[in-house]
């Protein structure tokens, strides 16, 4: 199947899936002011003031400032584990920076030096290029399997990412590689995380546990095994904005690009460590090149000016969750917000970050 025909088929699947999904819309159940709150009630109320809750089925929030740390959940236990989606890329960025510090890899280390890619074009891609989304790799490889899985997600809410690490490496052998202009790539960040794990002779999940979660005391910060995303006792169920149940996105192959689950307390702990420069690989936050006209990028982390403040951030979205995690490093503040919904929470996150620690500025 040639590329043009493949793209056309994908577009058809997307349209049909969206239409059928709308017909299967199961109804209401969004959170509101009467939904049970756990943790800091004031933080929960403040969050609801900045967020339309229609199509939101649970929220997890953390705020860190010089005044202290506050966490809250709405419609979920305080220790509920939410999918943080592509915020996982920022975590992979920390692991990359930390591997550089250990001397395990170098910016010019190529994928071909880590994996057996023969003469594949992806073999010349460097880890630095991957970390800055300058690898030339596409957002995702285009294949019939990927199209079918995407259709199953649109139609039934199934997990569209079922790849194992070996599948991602196999895709690298045939995927096309473009130029070095910034271009967001899921397969690129999957490859980066898997390469770091391969060099360390472990799994990506173990890398997250041993180099970040355990050293920082992040008790609920983990990657579920493939097919076990809902099995963890703290796992919160994901839903689309329409209310349809969504399978967990728990692919082992794409885990470095979007597979981590965490609770509010663990994300607050991570934020504290990042703000104090005590987190492993914290240099990943430092911007090193332009990502677009208004944004710079470090190792996965984006830096952007918002209402006169410099914010370092990343967001994420899976079939059943949307997340925003941002830091104002100068003021020593951070906000994490994640919703059981695919409706974005970026605006609310940025607003909460601007408000965080205001009284300490007076």
What pLDDT does residue 9 have?
A: 42
* Whole-number percent of the chain with pLDDT over 70: 91
Six-digit token pair at 6? Answer: 């493949």
Helix, coil or strand: residue 112: helix
28-42, 57-71, 149-163, 326-340: lowest mean pLDDT where? 149-163
DSSP conformation class of 315: E
Residues 6+ apart with CB under 8 A from 192: 92, 96, 127, 130, 131, 256
DSSP bridge pairs for 239: 245
Confidence (pLDDT) at 10 = 47
CA–CA separation, 56 and 297 (whole Å): 30
What does pTM read for this prediction?
0.90
Q: What are the chain's domains?
A: 3-361 (3.40.710.10)
d(CA 243, CA 309): 35
Query: Could you report the per-residue pLDDT of 209-252, keeping only the tens digit for each?
Result: 999 999 999 999 999 988 888 889 999 999 999 999 999 999 99
Mean pLDDT of the chain: 90
Helix intervals (H) in 200-307:
204-208, 214-216, 255-258, 264-275
Residue 361: band (very low, low, confident or very high) from pLDDT cuts 50, 70, 90: low
What average pLDDT does range 110-114 have in this prediction?
Answer: 98
**In Å, how far are 62, 102, 114, 127, 195 from 110, measured between CA atoms?**
37, 17, 7, 6, 9
At 25, the pLDDT band (50, 70, 90 cuts) reads very low
3 state DSSP class of 286:
coil
């Amino acid at each position: 199947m040639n590329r043009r025909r493949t793209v056309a088929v994908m577009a058809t699947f997307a349209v049909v899936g969206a239409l059928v999904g709308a017909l299967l819309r199961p109804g209401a159940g969004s959170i509101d002011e009467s939904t049970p709150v756990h943790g800091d009630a004031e933080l929960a109320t403040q969050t609801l003031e900045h967020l339309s809750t229609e199509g939101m089925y649970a929220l997890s929030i953390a705020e860190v400032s010089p005044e202290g740390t506050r966490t809250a959940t709405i419609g979920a236990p305080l220790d509920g584990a939410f999918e943080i989606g592509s915020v996982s890329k920022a975590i992979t960025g920390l692991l990359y920076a930390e591997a550089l510090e250990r001397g395990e890899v170098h910016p010019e280390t190529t994928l071909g030096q880590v994996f057996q890619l023969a003469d594949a074009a992806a073999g010349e891609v460097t880890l630095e290029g991957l970390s800055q989304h300058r690898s030339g790799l596409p957002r995702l490889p285009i294949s019939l399997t990927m199209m079918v899985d995407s259709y199953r997600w649109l139609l039934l809410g199934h997990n569209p990412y079922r790849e194992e690490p070996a599948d991602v490496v196999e895709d690298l052998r045939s995927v096309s590689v473009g130029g070095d202009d910034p271009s967001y790539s899921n397969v690129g960040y999957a490859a980066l995380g898997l390469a770091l794990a391969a060099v360390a002779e472990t799994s990506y999940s173990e890398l997250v546990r041993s180099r970040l979660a355990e050293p920082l005391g992040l008790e609920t910060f983990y990657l579920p095994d493939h097919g076990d995303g809902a099995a963890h006792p703290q796992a919160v169920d994901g839903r689309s904005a329409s209310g349809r149940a969504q399978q967990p996105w728990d692919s082992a192959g794409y885990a470095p690009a979007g597979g981590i689950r965490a609770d509010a307390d663990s994300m607050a702990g991570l934020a504290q460590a990042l703000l104090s420069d005590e987190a492993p690989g914290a240099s990943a936050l430092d911007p090193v090149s332009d990502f677009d006209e208004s944004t710079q990028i470090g190792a996965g982390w984006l830096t952007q000016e918002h209402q006169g403040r410099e914010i370092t951030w990343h967001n994420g979205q899976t079939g059943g969750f949307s997340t925003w995690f941002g830091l104002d490093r100068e003021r020593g503040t951070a906000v994490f917000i994640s919703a059981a919904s695919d409706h974005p929470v970026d605006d609310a996150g940025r607003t909460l970050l601007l408000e965080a620690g205001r009284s300490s500025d007076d």
